[in-house]
Structures are given as structure tokens and as C-alpha cells.
Amino acid sequence: METAAKLGSVGQRVAREVARLRGRIPVRELSARLTKLGRPILPSGITKIEQGKRRVDVDDLVALAVALEVTPTRLLLGPPPTDGTAEDPAHEEVWEWHPWTDSEGKERAPIPTLRFLEELALEPWEAWAWALGDSPLGEIWRIPEESEVIFPEGLEARFRAANQLPPVRPFFGLADDVQSAIGGIRQAVMEAFDQGLTDEQITQVVEQTKSAWRKENAVRDKVQERYSHFDEDNES
């Protein structure tokens, strides 16, 4: 018998996202997809999930994400934040808005947050950076109030090492280089956003980062070529 236990903030968000992402897909079609994945949920069960009357465990979450062609993170966090050029009405449903005052005591526009627990809410960009393994939360156990967070030495590097993809060179050749470039550009953009740069300035940062990466690769390739000639001479 299904229980009507109260869902937390994340559970409620998952319920809304399943309903939103299912869209025009008939509930029976989604049920059939889940059955093919080996995690059957009856159409009535899916309806209860969307109504918040049935909990979603981690196995259900993964199966639903695959069937709906998204990631589990998308179900847990809702639609990702944008750069402000395209408003997503879905944000209004999943974000909470909190007023704040600056250092001079002036009231500013409310800050959007994503709630995870009763005493833990994060700004959307911060939440996604954490979920994607880009940035740790440190000791943030409340709605963000501090203008700056200082992490213990080495924490960010350890966090990324534990939560991001390892090098994939053995399987895809130059994919490791591509991954490294993307990581560098992503970090540069995040830092630019934190500094309040305009879109035009951020574009310049990206171009500068790309140029720097190309130069580094060119230097590395020349060094490798020089060493290869040295090895060939020794062999002869």
C-alpha cells in the first residue's frame, strides 16, 4: 500500500520535474520504457510520483532519468540556470526567492535559491557547480549570507579529483586534451561570473583562455618532437 509520507524539498522537485519532462509522453509510454529498463513502474505509480504521493528511491531516479533522456542531476535540481538572456518559467516553480541587504543596509533584489534541506539552500549556479563537481560547498550550511567563502587549502582540488571524470586518453586519444581545455574554460567563466563581468568581457576571457591553451599545447608538442628526435638518434 502506497504511503502519503510528506516529501522533502528535493522529493517535491523531483515530482514536478518528472511531470514536466514527461510532457506529452503518454504515461503508459513512460511506464513501458521503465519496464524495458528493468525498473517497472505502473502508470498509476508514475501518476502518484508526479502528484507527490509516491517516493522515488535512487533506483527509480536513475531509471526515470534514462527514460526521460536527462541526467539524475536534472531531476534533482530542476532546469539549470541561464546566463539571464533566456528566462525559463520553470525556474519560478523550483526556486525560492530571498530578500537581502548589502553592506550599506540597502535592500536589493531577492536572491534565487534551491532548497535541499530545511536548513540548506544554495544559489542555483552554486548548486549546479557543486553537483557537477566543479566547486565544493565548504561550510555552507544555511541560505548564503557571506559574500566570500574561503576553502581550506587543497579542498577544491580534492573535491574535483573525487567528483569529476578522470583522464580518458587510453580510450579516446586526444579526449584528455579536450577535457582539459573545457575544464579550463569552464573555470575561467565561473571566475568571470563571480567577478561580475559583462557577457562581452566573459567572451574575451574565454577567447584568452582558448589562446593560452593552444599556446601551451604548441609548446608541449615542440618539446615532445624534440625528445622524439633525441630518442631516434640514440636508437641509431
Domains of the chain by start residue, with CATH: 9-77 (1.10.260.40), 80-152 (no CATH), 165-236 (no CATH)
Partners of residue 98 on adjacent β-strands: 111
Instruction: Give dist(CA 211, CA 201) in Å, integer.
Output: 15
Q: Does 84 score more than 70 pLDDT?
A: no
Q: b/e map of 144-164 (b: 16 or more CB within 10 Å)?
A: eeeeeeeeeeeeeeebeeeee
pLDDT category at 170 given cuts 50, 70, 90 is: very low
The arithmetic mean of pLDDT across residues 100-126, rounded, is 82
**Which tops the pLDDT comparison, 96 or 85?**
96
Predicted confidence at residue 72, as pLDDT, reads 96
Q: Has this prediction a pTM greater than 0.75?
A: no
67 contact partners, CB below 8 Å, separation of at least 6: 30, 33, 34, 37
3-state secondary structure 141-173: CCCCCCCCCCCCCCHHHHHHHHHCCCCCHHHHC
Q: Does 235 score more than 70 pLDDT?
A: no
- Read off the pLDDT of residues 179-232 as tens digits, 9 standing for 90 and up: 666 676 777 777 777 777 787 777 777 777 777 767 776 766 666 666 565 455
C-alpha cell of residue 184:
579550463
Q: Does 33 score more than 90 pLDDT?
A: yes
User: Any idea which of 9-18, 76-85, 104-113, 140-149 has the lowest mean pLDDT?
Assistant: 140-149
Q: Does 85 score more than 60 pLDDT?
A: no
> Percent of the chain scored above 70 by pLDDT?
72
Average pLDDT score over the chain: 78
Instruction: Give dist(CA 175, CA 167) in Å, integer.
Output: 8
Predicted confidence at residue 203, as pLDDT, reads 79
- Read off the pLDDT of residues 40-81 as tens digits, 9 standing for 90 and up: 999 999 999 999 999 999 999 999 999 999 999 999 999 888
Ordered DSSP codes for 93-128: HH-EEEEEE-TTS-EEEEEEEEEEETTEEE-HHHHH
